[in-house]
Amino acid sequence: MRGFSVFFLLVAGTAAAPLTPEKIELLPGLYPKERREIGERLIGRTEGVREALVEAGVDPRVAERIEGLLPGPLLVERYASDIPLAAPDLAPRQKELLEHLHPAVLAAEWALVVQRDRLLPGIRDETTKRQIQESFDRQVREIEKRYWRVVGTVLTEEQRLAIHPLLPQPYHRPPDLPGHVYQVPGLTLAQAGKIRALIAEFESESAADAAEIRRLKQGPEHDAAVDRVGELLKTIVARANTILTPGQLRYIDALPPLVGPNERGGEFVLEMGLTGEQQALAKPLVEETKRKVEEARRKAEEQVREMQGEVSGESPQAMTMQMMQQGAAGDAARIVEEAARKGLLEIVDKKQVLGWILSPR
């Protein structure tokens, strides 16, 4: 913990840091070509960074955060970690928990980086060195994911929606976005079919460029392929935005980063080593949540049973059944999420929450 504090004291005493390519990559909501164009104009600048970014169309709040971002390891994690504290209308218990988690999580990640960097120079075998580095990096990623699972549950949908524009580009969308889309509230079968067709179109039309990107790694031809995929994606997203309702689009923008569709909900709260007293307090909430989830699943199963006997495989009927099942999973996740928020803020101790984040099993 002391090394973490000393590091930031040393960095804070240095001169104004230049705008680096790594910081440009944090800018959210931009396609690769747009970030590259900003970088070509501004990379290396140390003064007036915020003003220049705002002039280039970057959200002033993001520009201010980028300008004040200190150089060093864990750039994206440091940039993102305190953004939840910018959520509006934080209740006292929300604020207390987030203020407890934010520095401790960042310190734990920094400790792993220090340990990794001390260990690697003494290892000569490249395979072993790579395995050790991957192991440490995996631990950092797991802590990050667990932190954002907690954040995604503690904050309400409106609060998550409010901080979404501030999230760095690597965290701007959660993994498996199509899976999340299939679980949005009120998604109709017609909407699902159109979204599925758009995804298939994107995968087909981007396949050749995606192969070139993997093969070339860098260079003008690589950048050209990246730009073509980016422009295609921009078109696909614009079309998807006309298929979904405003409420469904708001739901997608409010999704927490790093959390896949199968990781939503909040069942993880029960893994936090609840005491006997806490279990007694949680029992009515757990039972009520189970009842609501079972009711939602029963309705979905009844709809699926009505379709049994239809053609299987990739038929429209089979896809319809899959969509019903995914929708039911989304409904269940939202029910559990509401209960988990109550549990995190009213039953579980903040030290238990932190312990779960920092001790992946």
pLDDT digits (tens, 9 = 90+) for 71-115: 889 999 999 999 999 999 999 999 999 999 999 999 999 999 999
For residues 48 and 42, give the distance between their C-alpha atoms in angstroms, rounded to a whole number: 10
Q: Assess if residue 22 is contained within a domain.
A: yes
Torsion of Cα atoms, 18 then 21 then 23 then 27, to 10°: 130
Residue 308, SS3 per DSSP: coil
Q: Assess if residue 30 is contained within a domain.
A: yes
Q: Assess if residue 60 is contained within a domain.
A: yes
Asked if 154 contacts 341 with a C-beta cutoff of 8 angstroms, the reply is: yes
Strand segments, DSSP code E, in 261-360 are: none
Q: Assess if residue 192 is contained within a domain.
A: no
For residues 104 and 109, give the distance between their C-alpha atoms in angstroms, rounded to a whole number: 9
What percentage of the chain reaches a pLDDT higher than 70? 89
- Looking at residue 127, what is its pLDDT? 94
Q: Assess if residue 49 is contained within a domain.
A: yes
Q: How many domains does the chain have?
A: 1
For residues 101 and 147, give the distance between their C-alpha atoms in angstroms, rounded to a whole number: 8
Burial of 39 (0-12, 13-18, 19+ CB in 10 A): middle
- Looking at residue 303, what is its pLDDT? 67
Find the range with the poorest average confidence among 14-18, 145-149, 214-218: 14-18
| Domain residue limits at 18 | 13-71
Q: Assess if residue 293 is contained within a domain.
A: no
Whole-angstrom CA distances from 314 to 297, 311, 330 are: 23, 8, 22
